[in-house]
A and B are shown apart, each in its own frame.
Chain A
Amino acid sequence: MKRTVPLMIVMVGGILMIIQYFIPHQISQTIFEYYTDWAPIIVAFALVLGVGSLTRIHSHKIKRRAQNWPYSWAVLIPLYTMPFLAHIWPQSLGGGMDQPSIYHFLFMHIQVPIQATMFSMLAFYIASAAFRAFRAKSALATVLLIAAVIVMLGQVPIGDLLGKWLPSTGLWILRYPNLAAKRAIMLGVGFGMLATNLKIIFGVERNWLGGAGK
C-alpha cells in the first residue's frame, strides 16, 4: 500500500499534466489551474520540512559536540535571525528603500559582499589554473587552447583593437561549433529526461520512493 498509492498518484498526475498540455480544453485548463494553485502550497510544507530537518541535524551536532560543531551555529543563527527581523520590521520585506531596516542592512552589507567575494575569487583561481593546467599537450588540447584564447580576446575591447578578425572569429566559434556541440548535448539530456520521466510515471523507475513500503 505504501508503494502503490504514491505510484498511482504519480502516474495519474503525470499523465494528466501531459494531456492538459496538448489539449486546450476548458477541463484541462481547470486541471492546470488547480495544479498551479496547489503546488506552491505543497512546496510550502516542504519548506517547513527542510527548516525542521536542518535545525534537527545542526542542533544534534551542537549537542554531541561533533566535528566542526561551532559552524552549526553559523547555520542556525542566520536561519532564524533573518525571518525574525523581517517580521519585526515588516517594511524590511519591502526592501526598506525609504525606511532602512536591520533586515535590509544585513542583506546588503553581509549577504551581498559575502557572495560577491566568493564569486570574484574565481578570477584568481582561474588565472592560477590556466597557468598550471592549460597546456598544448596534444592536438585536441591545442585546438581547445587556441579557441579559448580567441574567444577570451574576442570578448573584450582590446580584442577589437588587436584586430577585427579576433572578435568575429570568437563569435563564429560561439555561433557554430559551440552551438552544434551544445545542441547535441541538450538533445541528449532532453531525451534522457523524457525517458526518465516516462519511467517514473509508469512505475518502472522507483528509486524516488526511497525505502518506503519495504
Chain B
Amino acid sequence: MSAVSIWEKMLNIDRRWIFLSIGVVSIVPFFINFGMPVVTTDEVEGIFDYMDELGPENAIFVSFDFAPGTQAENMPMAIGVIRHALHNNVPVFMTANYPLHHGMMLAAMEYILNPNTIGYYQDVPFDEWSDLRESGIVARDDLEEAWEGQGNQLPEGALGWAFEGRDYAMLGYAPVFNLVILGMTSSIQTQYPVDTHGNPTSEMPMLQEHKNLREVDMALSCSGSAACVWWVTYAREKIGLPIAFGVTAVMATDYFPYIQTGQVIGQMGGLRGAAEYEVLLAENGITPSTDKAFTGMDVQSAAHILIILFIIMGNIAYFAGGFHKQKTLKGRG
C-alpha cells in the first residue's frame, strides 16, 4: 500500500467513526468526574458582582428566551442567577418571549423548588400566605418571621423560603414580546394582569413595589436567539435598565460590542459562562456546590480536544498526502 493511499484512506474515513468517537467522549466524562478547575472571567464576574449588591428593596427580571434545544447551555445560567436572587431575597420576575420558552421557565422553577435538588428553596405558593398578606405583613424579613411564627419549619436541606409574589413571580409568555418589554416600561401589571398560575399581579407585593421596568434593577436575558437584543433596544436604550446576557457559546461572540459600550453589564457565554457563575455561587457560599454546567465542562473539554485532534489529523493527511497540490479531492463527504 502506497503512502498516498494511506493518507487518502485517512481523509475518506467513514464519518460514523467520527460520530462514534464524539459519542464516547461526550458520555465517558459523566461517569469519570475529572473536576477540572474553571477560571472566572470579567464578563461573568460583572453580573455576579452586580447581583451581589442587590437586596430585598431591589428587583430583577430573568427572561427565558430560549427553547429546549439550547437548554443545556441557557438553563444553568437562569437557575444560577435565580438562586443568587433568592439567597439575597431579591424579587425575581420571570418572563418568556415564546410559548416554548414558557415551558423552560416552569422547568427552571421546578428544579429550584424541588426538594430533590441539592440546595433547593422551599416554595410557599401565593394562596398559602394570603392571611399574612391581608394583615399587611409583606416586608421580606417580617414575612419570614411571621410565617415561621405560624409553626412552619424550614425543611432540612432547604436553603430558604421562596414566597410566590414576594420573592418570585412567574409572569410567563405574552405575545409580541418586544412590545411587551416596551409596555412594561410604563406598567408591568398592564402587560401581565395575572401570572402563570392565574394569581392577580396587582395583589403581589413585589409588583406593588416595582410597578414598571424603571423601578427594576436588572434584566437578564437567557437567550438562544437574537431576542436578547430586544432588551437592549427597548429597555436599556429607552429607560436605562441595566441588562445582562446569558447566551449560547456560538452567539457569545456577537455581543462583545454591547459589553464594551456598557450597554450590557456582563455576559455568560455558553456552558462555560454558566459554569463560571456556578463556581462563583459555590465559592461565595450561596449554593452548597456547583451544578450541572460545571459537570458539563469536562465533557466540553474532551469534545473540544477531540475536535482539535480531528482538525490536526485532517491537515496532516491533507498535506502529507500532497492533496494541497491537487485541484480537487475525492471524498465521500
Nearest CB on A from B310, distance (A): 4
Contact with B along A151-183 (1 / 0, CB 8 A): 011011110110000010001001100110011
> Which of A94, A108, A157, A179 interacts with B38 by CB under 8 Å?
A157
> Which of A120, A127, A179 interacts with B307 by CB under 8 Å?
A127
| B304:A115 contact, CB within 8 angstroms | no
Q: Which residues of A contact B198 (CB under 8 A)?
A: 94
CB-based nearest B residue for A90:
B198
Binds B, one of A3-11, A71-79, A131-139, A201-209: A131-139
Please report the C-alpha to C-alpha distance between residue A4 and residue B23 in the assembled complex, in whole angstroms: 59
A95-B106, A134-B314 in contact; A40/B23 too (CB < 8 A)?
no
Nearest CB on A from B141, distance (A): 27
Nearest CB on B from A106, distance (A): 10
A36-B182, A94-B197, A95-B196 in contact; A118/B38 too (CB < 8 A)?
no
| A116:B71 contact, CB within 8 angstroms | yes
Most chain-A Cβ atoms within 10 A of its Cβ — which of B38, B68, B303?
Answer: B68
CB-based nearest A residue for B103:
A107
Interface residues on B, range: 35 or more
CB-based nearest A residue for B11:
A132
Is A18 close to B, CB under 8 A? no
> Which of B18, B71, B254, B301 interacts with A131 by CB under 8 Å?
B18
Q: Which of B297-327 contact A (CB under 8 A)?
A: 297-298, 300-301, 303-308, 310-311, 313-315, 318-319, 324
Q: Which residues of B contact A104 (CB under 8 A)?
A: 106
Is B270 close to A, CB under 8 A? yes
Nearest CB on A from B45, distance (A): 13
Is B333 close to A, CB under 8 A? yes
CB-based nearest A residue for B186:
A33
Nearest CB on B from A130, distance (A): 5
Give the secondary structure class of A's interface. Answer: helix
Is B39 close to A, CB under 8 A? yes
Please report the C-alpha to C-alpha distance between residue A31 and residue B331 in the assembled complex, in whole angstroms: 62
| B175:A43 contact, CB within 8 angstroms | yes
CB-based nearest B residue for A117:
B69
Please report the C-alpha to C-alpha distance between residue A44 and residue B175 in the assembled complex, in whole angstroms: 8
| A112:B71 contact, CB within 8 angstroms | yes
Contact with A along B239-281 (1 / 0, CB 8 A): 0000000000100111011001000000000101000000000
Nearest CB on B from A92, distance (A): 10
Q: Which residues of B contact A152 (CB under 8 A)?
A: 304, 307-308
Contact with A along B67-108 (1 / 0, CB 8 A): 111111000000000000000000000000000101100110
Q: Which of A20-44 contact B (CB under 8 A)?
A: 29, 32-33, 35-37, 39-40, 43-44
> Which of B69, B197, B297, B333 interacts with A116 by CB under 8 Å?
B69
Q: Which residues of A contact B56 (CB under 8 A)?
A: none
Nearest CB on A from B226, distance (A): 11
Is A191 close to B, CB under 8 A? no
| B interface list, Cβ under 8 A from A | 11, 13, 15, 18-19, 21-23, 26, 36-39, 41, 67-72, 100, 102-103, 106-107, 109-110, 113, 174-176, 179-180, 182-183, 186, 196-198, 249, 252-254, 256-257, 260, 270, 272, 297-298, 300-301, 303-308, 310-311, 313-315, 318-319, 324, 331, 333
- 9 tightest A-B CB contacts, nearest first: A95-B106, A157-B36, A119-B69, A115-B68, A131-B310, A112-B68, A158-B301, A156-B301, A115-B69
15 contacts between A and B (CB under 8 A): A97-B109, A104-B106, A108-B103, A115-B67, A124-B22, A127-B303, A127-B307, A130-B307, A135-B315, A153-B305, A153-B308, A155-B300, A157-B297, A158-B301, A183-B257
Instruction: Knowing that A95-B110, A124-B22 touch, tell me 11 more A-B residue pairs with CB under 8 angstroms.
Output: A33-B186, A43-B176, A95-B106, A97-B110, A119-B70, A127-B21, A128-B19, A130-B307, A160-B39, A182-B256, A182-B257
